[in-house]
Amino acid sequence: MLMCIKAYGAAPHHMSAPAVPLAPGYGPLGYDLPPAGSYERPPLGLASDGPVIDSKGQSTSLHQLMDERITLLSFIYTSCSDVNGCPLASFVLNRVFKRIANDPRLVDKVQLLSLSFDRMNDTPAVLSNYATRFEAKNQPNWRFLTTPSEPALRKILSDYNQFIIEDTNEQGEKIGSISHLLRVYLIDSDRQIREIYSVSFLHPDILIQDILTIDQNPQQPIANASSDF
Amino acid sequence: MKKFIALAAMALLSPFTVADETCMSPYMAKIVGQEDFVYVWTLGVEGIGDEQDKLVTVAVNPNRDNYGEVVSSLSVGGRNEAHHSGFTDDRRYLWASGLDTNKIFIFDVHSDPAKPSLHKTIDDFVAKSGGVVGPHTSYAMPGRMLITGLSNEADHGGRTGMVEYTNAGDYIKTYWMPRDGALNGAVKSGKYADGYGYDVRALPRRNIMMTSSFTGWNNYMMNLGAMMSSPEAMANFGNTVVVWDLHTKQPKKVLDVPGAPLEIRCAWGSQNNYCFTTTALTSEIWLIYEADNDWHAKKVADIGDASKIPLPVDISITADDSKLWVNTWNDGMTRLFDISDPNAPSLVSEYSIGEQVNMVSQSWDGQRLYYTSSLLANWDKTESTGKDLQYFKIYTYDGEVLEHQLTIDFLAEKLGYPHQMRFGAYSLYGQKAPQTPRKFAGLE
């Protein structure tokens, strides 16, 4: 992935330039979705726990926050400048947040969590300001989180297969940017991961459709498939 | 967040994205500079070395002292009919499967890119999947792997399915290929709905996934001459490409593509809503394309003289969607087609690579191409007419001429029959190459 950095490293902001095509999540979806509940979101494994600190500075844990609600968990860092990276994730979650707030089917069932992996810079105060940018300051249905220690962060990232690389210059000094694959996790009320989104499917329409689908179809235990023959 | 996502976004959205790197999942982090290694999933052969399947790592960075050397070889114990391999989306693990034993070997390629280690072996693929046999393509999805099958446990014919796993190697779900009597919601658009499988590729921008169709265990484990002389066996090849809803994994449409369509390569350009495949038995290039809000298939070119059975195998599309490399196994040729007009590919040039040639992988910039020879243990040629028989070769391409740089004779090196190649690099994992390049310490 740092090969990618080599290729684009000379012009990282090029990726944020207007010439860069915007991810699908910024615009209307270019195709029709099947009706909610007409397809499956099979469980992908248990969503791990870990200690976190919210933007008010209060200590809690991921499982405490999940609290039998459907959760969208996004990994971000606030200084990310790639328009199709963390800003995309927060943009899409903002749209989902607004739609859930106006949907009586979902308002009490769904929450959003945005967890920073830049704990040195993303203090609770910084996260609070970031929440303001996305109209989510002090909103119980969208929390912005950091972690109490580096080992705690590393364990959460490892458990969610969210690997990061802190970018460095030729001298090996950190330059502030962090490389990672964009991932947003859809977690059901039983803490089972039901979908993992990357750029191409991180769209408000898809997220809402999937939320409605897993709300209608509680997870079935994973078992061996039966033969088709 | 900028680099990983930048790659994914560019791969999905930019009309200028450079692309085996050109043939990988669009969800995967890509190597866009110089690759350091090529991982060669290699069949073990009786009487050759330790006779085991192995992952052979070749150093390919021309700026390093070990350029062109085998730097590690990891044997997996026994022969499995080693065939295809693919990385997880984070590119930390390489999944490599065996068509005969149905084992999937998951190699850690990130801890030491010069020396992969065996992380895990999935040995209950058939039982978990409900009877899918012959794990073929390992295709990266976000946090998951999708494995295509070639066959089934019931009759070892070509009806099969796809099997989804988490990146950790935990079974998720089986998706059966639509067939007559069990279309699973798909529309049968022509004569065939055979339920066969082979390759899979995705076009996320259109929420589309495509699968192709080959043949079952009964055929791919049979001696080639015996199979080709058996009308019954030759009747059991796939004739379909299936278009799926990518997000829901539901089949939408079964297209007739007669003659065993094998590798699928999709265009990268943001407006280029089409993919190519080639048919092994009829030696044709087919275009699978979107028009009138639907998906269609049509033949767009011939590959060599079909009457001589050139047997098209691997193909590789360039990053700008302008060219397609097409290998034909039986005559050992690689052909370059201009696909600027996808409806009318035209032959640009052709080169003899060896006695037989199967896989081709090109670098992101298209300037380096790598070739291997082996197709299947029981189909490979065992005698040469003077050309290289089992090899790994490096070529450079300057836009005009394909120039040979280096050959590793896999028989002379007692390694086996080399099959699929995947690229590795230190920089993928924030690592720097060691000052002293790794040297081969023998079979491990």
In the predicted model, what is the mean pLDDT of residues B265-287? 96
What is the Cα–Cα distance from B419 to B290, expressed in whole angstroms?
32
Distance from CA of B316 to the nearest CA of A (A): 21
Chain B residue whose CA is closest to A184: B142
Cβ A163–B171 below 8 Å, yes or no? no
Largest Cα separation within chain A, whole Å, is: 60
In chain A, the N- to C-terminal Cα span, in Å, equals: 42
Cβ B425–A81 below 8 Å, yes or no? no
Q: Does residue B61 form part of some domain?
A: yes
Cβ A199–B29 below 8 Å, yes or no? no
pLDDT for position A21: 81
Q: What residues of chain A lie within 8 A of the CB of B13, using their CB? A: 20-23, 84
pLDDT at B6 over 60: no
Q: What residues of chain B lie within 8 A of the CB of A180, using their CB? A: 1, 4-5
Chain B residue whose CA is closest to A158: B168
pLDDT in tens, B35-91: 999 999 999 999 999 999 999 999 999 999 999 999 999 999 999 999 999 999 999
In which band, very low, low, confident or very high, does the pLDDT at B293 lie, cut at 50, 70 and 90?
very high
Q: Which of B4, B156, B365 should one mutate to test binding to chain A, selecting the residue with the greatest count of A CBs within 10 A? A: B4
Beta pairing partners, B93: B108
Of B186, B193, B194, nearest to B159 by C-alpha is B194
Chain A residue whose CA is closest to B428: A1
Q: Does residue B291 form part of some domain?
A: yes
Kindly report the number of other CB atoms within 10 A of residue A12's CB atom: 18
Distance from CA of B262 to the nearest CA of A (A): 23
Of B6, B182, B426, the CB nearest to A4: B6
What is the Cα–Cα distance from B175 to B132, expressed in whole angstroms?
10
Domain limits for position B281: 2-429
In the predicted model, what is the mean pLDDT of residues B309-313? 95
Of A82, A201, A222, the CB nearest to B1: A82
Cβ B142–A183 below 8 Å, yes or no? yes
Between A and B, how many residue pairs show a Cβ–Cβ distance under 8 A? Answer: 212
Q: What residues of chain B lie within 8 A of the CB of A24, using their CB? A: 205
Cβ B166–A45 below 8 Å, yes or no? yes
Domain limits for position A66: 43-216
Secondary structure class of A43 (helix, strand, coil): coil
Interface predicted TM-score (ipTM): 0.91
In which band, very low, low, confident or very high, does the pLDDT at B328 lie, cut at 50, 70 and 90?
very high
Of A38, A44, A197, the CB nearest to B166: A44
Instruction: Give the torsion sign (CA, B196, B201, B203, B207).
Output: positive
Q: Are A28 and B31 a contacting pair, CB within 8 Å?
A: no
Amino acid at A127: L
Q: Does residue B22 form part of some domain?
A: yes
Pick the more confident residue, A92 or A82.
A92
Q: Does residue A160 form part of some domain?
A: yes
In DSSP notation, B36-61 reads -EEEEEEE--TTSTT-S-EEEEEE--
Six-digit token string for A55: 């933007």
For B261, phi then psi, to 5°, come to -70, 130
What is the Cα–Cα distance from B24 to B140, expressed in whole angstroms?
8
Q: Does residue A224 form part of some domain?
A: no
Residue A94, domain CATH: 3.40.30.10
Percent of chain B with pLDDT over 70: 94
In chain B, the N- to C-terminal Cα span, in Å, equals: 37
Q: Does residue A210 form part of some domain?
A: yes
Q: Does residue A144 form part of some domain?
A: yes
H or E segment and range at residue B328: strand B323-328
Chain B residue whose CA is closest to A19: B14
Distance from CA of A175 to the nearest CA of B (A): 12
Beta pairing partners, B333: B328, B352
Cβ A225–B128 below 8 Å, yes or no? yes
Alpha carbon distances (Å) from A144 to A100, A108, A117, A129, B33: 17, 18, 11, 10, 36
pLDDT for position A220: 62
In which band, very low, low, confident or very high, does the pLDDT at A219 lie, cut at 50, 70 and 90?
low
Cβ B33–A201 below 8 Å, yes or no? no
pLDDT for position A176: 84
Distance from CA of B350 to the nearest CA of A (A): 31
Residue found under tokens 């364990």: A155
Q: Which of A200, A214, A227 should one mutate to test binding to chain B, selecting the residue with the greatest count of B CBs within 10 A? A: A200
**Rounded to 5°, angle at Cα B412 from B361 and B433:** 50
Q: Are B417 and B390 a contacting pair, CB within 8 Å?
A: yes
Q: Does residue A13 form part of some domain?
A: no
Residue B300, domain CATH: 2.130.10.10
**Residues with Cβ < 8 Å from B76, sequence gap 6 or more?**
B52, B53, B54, B55, B103, B105, B118, B121
Six-digit token string for B266: 């999709």
pLDDT for position B304: 96
In which band, very low, low, confident or very high, does the pLDDT at B21 lie, cut at 50, 70 and 90?
low
Distance from CA of A22 to the nearest CA of B (A): 7
Cβ B29–A4 below 8 Å, yes or no? yes
In the predicted model, what is the mean pLDDT of residues A110-115? 98
pLDDT at A193 over 60: yes
Q: What residues of chain B lie within 8 A of the CB of A222, using their CB? A: 170-172
Q: Does residue A229 form part of some domain?
A: no
What is the Cα–Cα distance from B171 to B147, expressed in whole angstroms?
11
Number of domains in chain A: 1
pLDDT at A7 over 60: no
In DSSP notation, chain A reads -HHHHHHHHT-GGGGGSTTSPPPGGGS--SSPPPPTTSS------BPPP-EEEETTS-EEEHHHHHTTSEEEEEEE-TT---TTSHHHHHHHHHHHHHHHHT-TTTTTTEEEEEEES-TTT--HHHHHHHHHHTT-TT-TTEEEEE-SSHHHHHHHHHHTT--EEEEE-TTS-EEEEEEE---EEEE-TTSBEEEEE-GGG--HHHHHHHHHHHHHSPPPPP-PPPP--
pLDDT for position B78: 96
What is the Cα–Cα distance from A69 to A56, expressed in whole angstroms?
21
Q: At what angle do helices A204-216 and A86-101 cross, to 10 degrees?
A: 50
Cβ B3–A196 below 8 Å, yes or no? no
Q: Which of B3, B35, B133 should one mutate to test binding to chain A, selecting the residue with the greatest count of A CBs within 10 A? A: B3
Of A6, A21, A182, the CB nearest to B8: A182
Q: What residues of chain B lie within 8 A of the CB of A4, using their CB? A: 3-4, 6-7, 29-32
Chain A residue whose CA is closest to B160: A228
DSSP B204: G
Q: Does residue A227 form part of some domain?
A: no
Question: Taking the mean position of all CA atoms in its chain, how far away is CA B127?
Answer: 25
What is the Cα–Cα distance from B67 to B50, expressed in whole angstroms?
25
Number of domains in chain B: 1
Q: Are B85 and B79 a contacting pair, CB within 8 Å?
A: no
Q: Does residue A142 form part of some domain?
A: yes
DSSP B91: S
Alpha carbon distances (Å) from A49 to A66, A76, B231: 9, 18, 59
Alpha carbon distances (Å) from B426 to A74, A178, B195, B420, B429: 28, 17, 41, 20, 6
Cβ B12–A15 below 8 Å, yes or no? no
